[in-house]
């Protein structure tokens, strides 16, 4: 007897598989279209308690990786139904610091409905931080960064007082700067300051000129001759006469010029190979320069 379950031939099997694939693709397309055409909802952010013109910073996130930053009272339309999270940050105005209530809330957005997220700001305790910057020539900007509570970050180029700061720990970091030739480095590259409510904290950033050293060695002179000499000039009007092998210390960073002198010794004329030598002095390792003579 022939089995009622007759295997499909290759052609009929391929056709059947194509039919199944077509049905699945159609189902997926219908699902996408259904999702894209599903009724949308809205979310209104109602903000109160702030002075007129105060800036607001909040983030709204939700289904389908939705995320949007908002800067004030607004209504977000065309939202897919679902749960949305509203995260608000503290804000500072010209008259004080304000904290949001609540900082974090969850709102259910429904189709064809407008959900409401209320954010009420209250005056918050605050302190201040005075940063005194010194040691730089006039017209040279410092490079100081202050970071701390509530994601605070402020770049300073001169002495400043930062008002209405959230109480907490603040970091003050300073980088070296260059003024034309010489460089200036902070005595403290990083420091921490604690700001408390209703108090003024302070920190000092003292810059000093970066110092280096230069060793000059005279070679090629007749035995017993010690008359190799040179005039050395550099930043900030530096000028020195060196005689014989010499090490100059506590030098400002920058470009130095060495002008070797010729001389006569026991009937021989000793002339430097080069009439002028340029050398860059930096902080850290000793910089060495060789002055060669030709004596005839």
Distance CA 78, CA 86 (A): 17
pLDDT of residue 103: 95
Distance CA 139, CA 154 (A): 20
Q: Which residues contact 44 (CB under 8 A, 6 or more apart)?
A: 74, 75, 76, 114, 115, 116, 117
pLDDT of residue 36: 57
Which segments of the chain have a pLDDT < 70? 1-37, 180-182, 225-226, 284
Per this entry, what is the length of the chain? Answer: 296
pLDDT of residue 13: 53
Q: What architecture is the 127-209 domain classified under in CATH? A: Sandwich (2.60)
Q: Where are the domains of the chain?
A: 41-124, 127-209, 211-295
Q: Give pTM, 2 decimals.
A: 0.61
Please determine, looking at this structure, whether the domain spanning 41-124 carries the CATH number 3.40.50.300.
Answer: no
pLDDT of residue 223: 75
Q: What architecture is the 211-295 domain classified under in CATH? A: Sandwich (2.60)
Torsion of CA 235, 236, 241, 245, to 10 degrees: -40
Q: How many helices (H) and strands (E) does the chain have?
A: 1, 27
pLDDT of residue 89: 92
> Quick one: how far is CA 227 from the chain centroid?
53
pLDDT of residue 158: 97
The DSSP secondary-structure symbol of 197 reads T
226-245 pLDDT tens trace: 678 999 999 889 999 999 89
- Common-topology check for domains 41-124 and 127-209: yes
């Amino acid at each position: 007897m022939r089995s009622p379950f007759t295997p499909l031939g290759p052609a009929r099997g391929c056709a059947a598989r194509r039919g199944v694939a077509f049905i699945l693709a159609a189902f997926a397309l219908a699902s996408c279209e259904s999702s894209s055409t599903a009724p949308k909802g809205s979310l209104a952010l109602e903000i109160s308690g702030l002075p007129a013109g105060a800036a607001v910073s909040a983030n709204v996130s939700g289904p389908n990786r939705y995320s949007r930053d908002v800067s004030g009272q607004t209504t977000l339309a065309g939202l897919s139904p679902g749960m949305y999270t509203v995260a608000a940050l503290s804000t500072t105005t010209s008259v004080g610091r304000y904290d949001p209530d609540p900082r974090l809330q969850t709102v259910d957005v429904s189709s064809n409905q407008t959900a409401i997220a209320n954010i009420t700001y209250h005056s918050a305790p605050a302190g201040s931080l005075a940063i005194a910057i010194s040691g730089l020539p006039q017209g040279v900007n410092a490079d100081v960064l202050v970071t701390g509570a509530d994601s605070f970050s402020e770049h300073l180029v001169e002495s400043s007082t930062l008002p209405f700061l959230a109480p907490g720990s603040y970091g003050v970091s300073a980088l070296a700067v260059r003024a034309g030739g010489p460089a200036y480095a902070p005595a403290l590259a990083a420091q921490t300051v604690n700001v408390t409510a209703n108090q003024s904290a302070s920190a000092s950033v003292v810059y000093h000129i970066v110092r280096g050293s230069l060793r000059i060695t005279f070679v090629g002179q007749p035995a017993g001759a010690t008359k190799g000499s040179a005039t050395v000039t550099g930043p900030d009007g530096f000028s020195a006469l060196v005689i014989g092998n010499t090490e100059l210390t506590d030098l400002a960073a920058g470009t130095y010029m060495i002008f070797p002198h010729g001389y006569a010794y026991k009937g021989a004329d000793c002339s430097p190979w080069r009439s002028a030598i340029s050398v860059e002095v930096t902080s850290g390792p000793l910089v060495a320069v060789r002055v060669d003579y030709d004596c005839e």
